[in-house]
Amino acid sequence: MASVKVQQGLVLGMSTLAFTVCFMVWMMFAVLGVPVKELLQLNETQFGLLAATPVLTGSLIRLPLGLLTDKFGGRIVFFILMLVCVLPIYMISLATEYWHFLVLGLFVGLAGGSFSVGIAYVAKWFDKSTQGTAMGIFGAGNAGAAVTKFVAPAIIAAASWQMVPKVYSAIMFITALLFWFTTYENKAHRVSSSVSLAEQLRTLKDPKVWRYCQYYSIVFGGYVALALWMTKYYVQEYGFNLQTAALLAACFSLPGGVLRAIGGWMSDKWGAHSVTWWVMWVSWICLFLLSYPPTDLIVQTVNGPQSFHIGLNATLFTVLLFVMGIAFAFGKASVFKYISNDYPNNMGAISGIVGLAGGLGGFVLPIMFGALVDLTGVRSSCFMLMYGVVWISLIWMYLSEVRRTPMMGVGAESPRLSEV
């Protein structure tokens, strides 16, 4: 029998790998949707629905999967989940109609539910002083969104879009087998069989859970939505080809995933509250700048009319996305540090609830992005919408936490405050 340290390392490493692959699959339409949009002549709203459909089931399934993980353990639930996704992924290569992609996308989206399984599975292998870091490392599997932006365009360029789901289904199957044969289960990590479903769901009455849901709907939901939307945005706004657009979009997706581990460490050191507060402010500033649409002004001067162009070039746009990706990465980790502090005994249920809220944000936002573009004709309207959501989070956080709590303190834990 391997030592506890070895078991911890294998559980964390293989869970992170499995989550990365699941996230690759979950974000597949971020790239695959571009040639499908051209093939089926979809409008912006239809594209938004296509890209978001897997996110819907991946979100709705998170709470049931979290409850199952608490009851039966993360190893078996994670393994079965990956196996269930293999066939639907492959069948996307045979789809020819819009409804085919939507229906299959619902089944493929189950892979997105892997987060609530893995986060509870991993967290219970570590003590509170290192949980934030461990959960951050696992959450770095969000980088699967960036991996898709590197891998899928290369496959499309070398073969065709139909080859992408074929390759991804094979990767998912191999990963499931590797995960099963290299990980461990500790039955002591399961909740008591006497704990009822009603008792597990009782935390829905806790206002703190709803606040964490709001935070996660932007740092994760916004991350998912933009990861799905940005490749097409670069193609249409700046005229890049698919490969270049996907590479630039990865400048947001990659730091938004891999730096989550640093966010976990920061949350262990300074507390979830301080990290989340500054994440929201940085995101607010970036979104304000990204929201401004390209504008031409004619100013009447003493020397006659002068024209000015105001807008973000591709370089500055990418830099702002990169900064926001870093902020979102830290925020995703800090929100779950809140949860590990406040709900150590039923993390599966709480992570499922919060993950559900974040995932629903990732589902609703791309559809709203498309609808806003169709309605206004302004592509940057997607950032205007997210700016408003972040503003709500800042106000809520200020009213419930900031005005009663010191802003910084080394080693500070997340505040336990009475709700407003």
- Domain residue ranges of the chain, discontinuous segments joined by +: 4-189+200-404
Q: Can you tell me which residue has the tokens 């229906």? A: 103
Structural contact between residues 285 and 278, judged by C-beta atoms closer than 8 angstroms: no
Q: Which of 153, 143, 181 is nearest to 35 (CA)?
A: 153
What averages of pLDDT result for each successive group of 10 residues across the chain (420 residues)? 82 94 90 89 88 86 83 90 96 93 93 87 82 82 85 90 95 96 80 58 75 89 88 89 88 81 84 89 94 87 85 92 93 85 74 81 88 90 93 87 56 41
CATH for 4-189+200-404 (1.20.1250.20, 3.30.9.10, 3.20.20.140, 3.40.50.300): 1.20.1250.20
pLDDT for position 82: 96
Q: Can you tell me which residue has the tokens 């506890």? A: 4
Q: How far is CA 386 from CA 28, 45, 191, 291, in A?
A: 22, 17, 37, 9
pLDDT for position 343: 78
Other beta carbons less than 10 A from residue 416's beta carbon: 9
Q: How far is 299 from 413, CA to CA, in rounded Å?
A: 53
Distant-in-sequence, close-in-space partners of 303: CB < 8 Å, separation ≥ 6:
none
Q: How far is 106 from 275, CA to CA, in rounded Å?
A: 34
pLDDT for position 420: 33
pLDDT for position 320: 95
pLDDT for position 192: 57
Give 98-153 as a DSSP string.
Answer: HHHHHHHHHHHGGGGGHHHHHHHHHHTTS-HHHHHHHHHHHHGGGGHHHHHHHHHH
